[in-house]
A and B are shown apart, each in its own frame.
Chain A
Amino acid sequence: MPKRAYVFDKGLLFSTLSLVGIGLLAVYSAGVGKAFVGEVPSPGYLLFKQLMAFIIGFAAGFIAYRSSIDTIKLLAYPIYFLAIGLLVLLYVPGFGVTINYSTRWIEIAGQSFQPSELAKVGLILSTASYLSVREPRKMSAREVFKLFLMFGVPALLVLRSPDLGSTIVILTIFITQYFLSGAPIWGLIFLGALFVLGVLYESLTRVAYWKDRITAWLDPLNPNLSDNVSYQMVQSLIAIANGGFFGSGLFYGQQKFGRLPMVESDFVFSLVVEELGFVGAVFVIAMFALFVVRSIRIASKSKNLFSYLVALGIGLHIGLQGFINMAVATGLLPVTGVTLPFLSAGGTSLIVNMLEVGILFAIDRNNRQELT
């Protein structure tokens, strides 16, 4: 059997290309709406930025794909520390950009950048690297707490920005990686206790805020709610209900015209449902599911712990973040504010997601090479 230069997991490739394709169309559509109400300078503005990010992301992904697992492993800590450095910049006046009371972006030379996205891949890689060089089952308490500290620093920086959605995503990935590596269960109990304490602290210090959010979540049309709490939720549900079975047709949505805030990013799924209908929505959900299934499959074929944990982490990152985003858009979860991987407008997110796909492909290629 001749050795082929490029081997791909076809399912993973199909789901990625489908999601990116739908994403580019959706971002363009959202841009048309936002340009119409004057929120962006021109209809093609968002698409152009997204295409640029796609090209960079494709390059990053391709390089990752062509890299060996060892190189990727070698880059884990540099990426991790770069992410921490950028996260710290969020708290430096002059760099942080505050939108909707959250400081999630930094601006360097006119380009905004979202460090939490880099932190996600950085954590996935460094956690996997940390666990893979040890025997997780036989880790000492000191080693476990060192791992927790490694996770805790960026996690707290993300949480304080504040970005609860991303914190939940990285925490879940971390717990899963920890759990699947076979590390001591007491660490999980410790993390769980910490999580419960955090939730208690959050809910007790911001009772009114969460009461409104939960009410808006359970009953978005409740007339007692102040408008701005339920507004986004209701507008998203209107878009989804408006879609019907086949949707209003690509580019023919109504809600993007200034009604649904963040229609190009956090609520891009609502736009997709409105314009492509139930059919389109189910396709997008199916593609995310396919992505997760294929990454678990790649993980199961892994020949070393690092590949296994990274493949799982990336699959979980894409799948979980996708689930949370779509669950928020459909009202299944209260509004948190995470992007939809591959679809949401946002350069950092797309570049990081493409990089992750590249890594997954690299692992897959590595698995196959070792098989032959």
Chain B
Amino acid sequence: MKQFKPNTFRLGFMLFLCVALFGTLFVKLFIVQFINANEFNQRAKQQYRKPNEEIPATRGEIFDRNGIRLVTNSITYDLVCEPEKISNPDGMGEAISSVIGMESKTVQERLKGTGGTKSYTIIKKNLDSKLADKIRSFGFKGIWLETRFVRSYPQQNLASPLIGFTGNDNHGKYGLEIDFDKELSGESGLRTYPMDSKGIAGRTYKVLKPVLNGKSLYLTIDNTIQFVVEEELERTCREWNAKGGACVIMNPQTGEIIACVSYPTYNLNDALNSNDNQRRNRALNYVYEPGSVFKGIVTAAALELGKIDDNFTADCAGRTVFKGYRLFCNNRHGHQEKLAEELKNSCNMAFMKIGQLIGKDLCRFVNDFGFGKKTGTGAHEESGLVKNSRSWDDVTIATVSYGQGVSVTPLQLAQAYSALANGGVLMKPILIQQIYDPNKGTFERNAPQPIRQVVSKKTADHVLRLLTEVVDMKEDGVHQAKIPGYSVAGKTGTTPKTTASGDYQFSKFDCSFCGIVPSDPLAPQKLVVLVAIDEPYKTTASGGRINPFGSTTAAPCFKRIAERILSDLRIAPKEIK
């Protein structure tokens, strides 16, 4: 056989082809890995992980000062089906409808997915655990129960205007539920599940964003006191056919609001059947002219400035014309009284004179006592209405002196009286005692916060003594607010309501009473109780109208409340001498 000699040209051609082929492979690899990589990586992400799922945050609860639950969360069940996986919708529909109390035809249609999606259909929402158990016992395929947390209010009506309720989205709609929605809601987290090749999510998940559960509120409200006050306020309001009423009980030394009551109330678990009047929290949002109750504040201002003393006397003709306005005193006969009696009899003319003595400084005191601005409890509240200091004229001074031409909320008035009971120191009202953060396990406490010394302790104690005399010195019988065994300071107020145009209408009244018990300046613990009744009226047997007064409506209510709660709060009666 002759010597074999390969064809180098053809071999070279093969080598070239080989290099060319592997070269294209290299280029293609580069393109996939570095130029088009993004779209494939995107696709990879989609198939490796389920779309991010929300981790719902548990909404915070609301407790009273003693840790009693006012608001909590409970589980509810939604019955859901996947129509394409249901083999026998008619039979299943019959069985399910008998349990959940829905028409069987409707249930069957939903099981068939008629006119809707075939993959996810809600049959009925909000089933309780008993019904859920019954549904489960059927063992049907293609239906399942989804659990959901909803708000539940174990105390039903208690403090309902204050607490408010949530909407379908589990976010607040009224009351503290909306005012503190940010704290209560927390922040939902995000998680993602790894997914295997069959699209089934793994059991372990990766948290992309940790969930922050809602914070819980501990109110300063005392469950028991609140209940008593609600009962008594309701009794008074019903007796006087009032549109509504409010009561604020405050610890003057700390500013804690122990009861925050508004009448009428409603059942929070049936919140959809409530009306605006029921949802309104009058304790913080009812703006009215305080009338004579304000005289306690004016007296403090005058005493602080040294404009008057106990012996201050004023002549009152019962009526007067001031700068073209006709003004009347409660007692329309001429009289001349000393300061304590002027307060007791609520002589408007005398206080007009006191107002004139104080002059423009009255505006400063009104503001210093906290009127005209929100107290800062965190709950929704009105700021009331105090004229701008530049627009205070003689008429303003005169009317404000007896509590008209200034609008306040029950809370503001209770706060101002608390300053008188607290040696002249105005405290910031506290409604939220502490906020519990479950994520950190920490409590954020709202410590008592003095705002300012409005008047000296001497002045405050002086006013306290005068107001005690008001309750003590009732000549024609016993004062409606007098409580045996306790010293009570207080002042009534009765104001005709104004119409929209600003005129007074002498058929509708705001009647209120603000009391301090015990009123002894040395008492270790005091309570300030403000009761305000919105439009009380009564008719006599013959159909005649009985005009309401603070002394006949709010004062007796105060008395009944105080009598019932003083022992609860362990405030002892004074020594029997």
Contact = CB atoms under 8 A, between A and B. Distances in A.
Contact of A332 (B7, B19, B25, B196): B25
Contacts of B38: 241
Interface stretch (B40-48, B56-64, B334-342, B405-413): B40-48
A241 B196 contact: no
7 contacts: A180-B6, A180-B11, A245-B34, A303-B4, A304-B1, A327-B25, A330-B29
A312 B41 CA distance: 40
Interface residues of A, number: 46
Nearest to B47: A259
A162 interface: no
B196 A180 contact: no
Contact of A257 (B7, B8, B15, B196): B196
A19 interface: no
A366 to B, nearest CB: 12
Contact of B4 (A221, A302, A326, A327): A302
Contacts of A308: 4, 6
Given A258-B197, A278-B33, A285 B22 contact: yes
Contacts of B540: none
Contacts of A278: 29-30, 33-34
B10 interface: yes
A186 to B, nearest CB: 17
Nearest to B4: A304
B311 interface: no
A319 B18 contact: yes
Interface in B1-40: 1, 3-4, 6-8, 10-11, 14-15, 18-19, 21-22, 24-26, 28-30, 32-34, 36-40
A188 to B, nearest CB: 12
A241 B7 contact: no
B455 to A, nearest CB: 76
A305 B28 contact: no
Residue of B1, B25, B26, B47 with most chain A CB atoms under a 10 A cut-off: B25
Interface of B is mostly: helix
A289 B22 CA distance: 7
A201 interface: no
Contacts of A289: 18-19, 22
A203 interface: no
B2 to A, nearest CB: 10
Interface residues of B, number: 36
A258 B198 contact: yes
Residue of A176, A179, A257, A330 with most chain B CB atoms under a 10 A cut-off: A330
Interface string A154-169: 0000000000000000
B28 A241 contact: no
A267 interface: no
Given A234-B43, A296-B11, A241 B32 contact: yes
A296 B14 contact: yes
Q: Which 8 A-B pairs have the closest CB atoms?
A: A258-B197, A241-B40, A241-B37, A332-B28, A259-B197, A238-B44, A289-B22, A330-B28
Interface of B: 1, 3-4, 6-8, 10-11, 14-15, 18-19, 21-22, 24-26, 28-30, 32-34, 36-41, 43-44, 47-48, 196-198
Interface string A296-326: 1001101111001000100010010001001
Contacts of B18: 289, 292-293, 296, 319
A323 B21 contact: yes
Contacts of B22: 285, 288-289, 319, 323
Contact of B39 (A221, A312, A319): A221
Contacts of A305: 4
B48 to A, nearest CB: 6
Given A293-B15, A300-B8, A331-B28, A37 B196 contact: yes
A254 interface: yes
Contacts of B32: 237, 240-241, 330-331
Residue of B7, B34, B44 with most chain A CB atoms under a 10 A cut-off: B44
A85 interface: no
Nearest to A286: B22
Contacts of A346: none
Contacts of A78: none
A302 B11 CA distance: 12
Given A37-B197, A237-B32, A330-B29, 17 more contacts: A176-B14, A180-B6, A238-B44, A238-B47, A241-B33, A241-B41, A273-B29, A277-B33, A278-B29, A281-B29, A282-B29, A285-B29, A289-B19, A300-B8, A312-B11, A323-B25, A331-B32
Interface in A16-67: 37
A319 B198 CA distance: 36
A271 B231 CA distance: 77
Nearest to B10: A180
A319 to B, nearest CB: 6
Nearest to A282: B26
Contacts of A243: 33
B3 A179 contact: no
Contacts of A332: 24-25, 28
A303 B33 contact: no
Contacts of A240: 29, 32-33, 40
Contacts of B15: 293, 296
Interface in A319-354: 319, 323, 326-327, 330-332
Contacts of A176: 14
Nearest to A288: B22
Contacts of B28: 327, 330-332
A49 B282 CA distance: 84
A304 B14 CA distance: 19
A182 interface: yes
B33 A244 contact: yes
A114 interface: no
Contacts of B3: 303
A154 to B, nearest CB: 23
A179 B9 CA distance: 12
A242 interface: yes
B3 to A, nearest CB: 7
Nearest to B26: A285
A258 B199 CA distance: 11
B26 A182 contact: no
A292 B25 CA distance: 15
A285 B38 CA distance: 23
A278 B33 CA distance: 7
Nearest to A180: B10
Contact of B33 (A182, A273, A316): A273
Contacts of B43: 221, 234, 238
Contacts of B4: 302-305, 308
Nearest to A323: B21
Nearest to A133: B1
B11 to A, nearest CB: 6
Interface in A238-276: 238, 240-245, 254, 257-259, 273
